């Protein structure tokens, strides 16, 4: 609390939490569950403090994305990739503008449901992003290659499934399919941003620290220059990072969220149906 | 027309009004939980208090700590005139909405199968 709140707020709010813990929570729930309650309350404070800055975090992430894309394309253009098609560049710019609009205008919740959706989406997005980071590290940097790749693929599978779960969670919490889709979108957006930045960093590590198993080799059996090696790896990582940002994050987040939301809605209906039949 | 208040904000303001001189974080939290009949996160109460203070509906001052709080200071809250006006408006709006409708509602549920 001292890290996330102002000193006077941390002082009074720590006191309130301690008082609640001692005067009612611990006597009612016992020491272990009271400790869990305390940790949960502190986590809630931290989340609220971070959620206020969600817009700034997203805009900072998007700015880093733009700088990474621009720097990588200008400094390390891959000669084997052919000329960049204008359509692709327009799509990338459009996607970033859309994300910028969402980050600026959609991060201020107007209703309790907006706030709940944003909170769930952020938590799921960070969780999915963390799983993607694990997967990317295992697939690209961990030695031996076979062992790392196996864990990496399994983590990727988990990360692919999680937007679906986030959609179920969102639909069950908000009681509507749209709520689940929105949770899936936020989860996809935030996890895509995290995965983009992680993969961009990994791409530069692969390009400039030789010896990692995930590095691409320009021409097997032929001589190649260090510059060719760097260009290929930076460009390859950039392609993967963009796929994470727009396709795996944005598009699949919404699709996974929507499918999960329908599933969640169905579960609610089945639950209601069984309640009705149990009642009659 | 004064500030528009949400249900949770009304609960917090009413708790402050009810507790009077004893309206500090923990007390308000307990009172709001009693009024809304559900568990409330301490962070949600404090975030709302902070927002209401920024909107000029309440004001606060620091008080002394007690042993149960390990000596941590309490922050006491009281309503400002704008807060009272906002509560009056919220009540008047609710009364207007319900004018002419008997309560509790009976026979208005449209059964679906």
Query: Tokens at residue A182, please?
Result: 């929105």
How far is B39 from A234, CA to CA, in rounded Å?
A: 51
Q: Do A16 and B29 count as a contact with CB atoms less than 8 A apart?
A: yes
Under-50 pLDDT residues of chain A:
279-280
Cβ(A144)–Cβ(A209) below 8 Å: no
Please tell me the predicted confidence (pLDDT) of residue A280: 46
CA angle, residues A52, A2, A124, in degrees to nearest 5: 40
Please tell me the predicted confidence (pLDDT) of residue A79: 59
First to last CA, chain B: 44
Please report the sign of the dihedral spanned by the C-alpha atoms of residue B9, residue B15, residue B21, residue B23. Answer: negative
Q: Do A15 and B65 count as a contact with CB atoms less than 8 A apart?
A: yes
Please tell me the predicted confidence (pLDDT) of residue A273: 64
| Chain B neighbors of A18, CB-CB under 8 A | 68-70, 72
Is the CB of A14 inside 8 Å of chain B's CB atoms?
yes
Q: Do B73 and A15 count as a contact with CB atoms less than 8 A apart?
A: yes
pLDDT above 60 (res B113): no
Nearest to B50 by CA among B22, B23, B77, B15: B77
Please tell me the predicted confidence (pLDDT) of residue B76: 96
Say which residue the tokens 């692969």 belong to: A206
**Mean pLDDT score of chain B:** 89
DSSP A222: S
Better-predicted residue by pLDDT, B49 or A225? B49
Query: What's the Cα-to-Cα distance from A41 to each of A112, A119, A225, B10, B40, rounded to whole Å?
Result: 19, 15, 56, 22, 10
Test the B interface: residue of A2, A9, A12, A109 with most B CBs within 10 Å: A12
Please tell me the predicted confidence (pLDDT) of residue A174: 86
pLDDT in tens, A40-75: 888 888 777 766 678 888 999 999 999 999 998 888
pLDDT above 50 (res B67): yes
pLDDT in tens, B11-20: 999 999 999 9
């Amino acid at each position: 609390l001292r890290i996330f709140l102002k000193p006077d707020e941390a002082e009074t709010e720590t006191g309130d939490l301690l008082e609640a813990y001692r005067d009612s929570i611990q006597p009612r729930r016992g020491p272990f569950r009271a400790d869990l309650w305390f940790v949960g309350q502190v986590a809630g404070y931290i989340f609220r403090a971070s959620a206020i800055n969600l817009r700034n975090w997203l805009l900072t992430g998007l700015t880093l994305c733009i700088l990474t894309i621009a720097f990588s394309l200008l400094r390390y253009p891959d000669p084997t990739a052919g000329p960049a098609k204008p359509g692709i560049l327009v799509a990338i710019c459009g996607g970033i503008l859309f994300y910028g609009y969402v980050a600026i205008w959609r991060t201020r919740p107007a209703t309790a449901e907006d706030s709940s959706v944003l909170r769930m989406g952020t938590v799921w997005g960070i969780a999915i992003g963390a799983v993607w980071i694990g997967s990317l590290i295992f697939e690209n940097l961990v030695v031996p290659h076979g062992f790392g790749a196996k864990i990496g693929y399994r983590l990727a599978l988990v990360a692919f499934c999680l937007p679906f779960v986030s959609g179920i969670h969102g639909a069950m919490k908000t009681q509507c399919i749209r709520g689940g889709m929105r949770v899936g979108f936020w989860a996809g957006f935030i996890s895509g941003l995290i995965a983009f930045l992680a993969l961009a960093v990994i791409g530069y590590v692969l390009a400039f620290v030789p010896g990692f198993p995930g590095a691409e080799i320009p021409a097997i059996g032929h001589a190649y220059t260090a510059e060719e090696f760097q260009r290929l790896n930076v460009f390859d990582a950039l392609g993967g990072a963009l796929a994470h940002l727009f396709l795996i994050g944005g598009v699949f987040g919404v699709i996974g969220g929507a499918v999960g939301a329908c599933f969640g809605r169905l579960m609610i209906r089945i639950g209601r149906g069984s309640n009705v039949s149990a009642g009659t | 027309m004064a500030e528009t208040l949400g249900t949770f904000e009304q609960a917090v303001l009413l708790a402050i009004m009810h507790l009077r001189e004893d309206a500090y974080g923990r007390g308000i939290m307990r009172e709001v939980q009693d009024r809304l009949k559900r568990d409330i996160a301490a962070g949600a109460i404090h975030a709302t208090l902070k927002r209401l203070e920024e909107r000029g509906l309440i004001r606060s001052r620091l008080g002394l700590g007690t042993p149960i709080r390990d000596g941590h200071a309490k922050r006491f809250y009281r309503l400002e005139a704008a807060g009272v006006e906002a509560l009056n408006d919220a009540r008047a709006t609710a009364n207007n909405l319900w004018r002419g409708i008997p309560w509790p509602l009976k026979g208005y549920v449209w059964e679906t199968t």
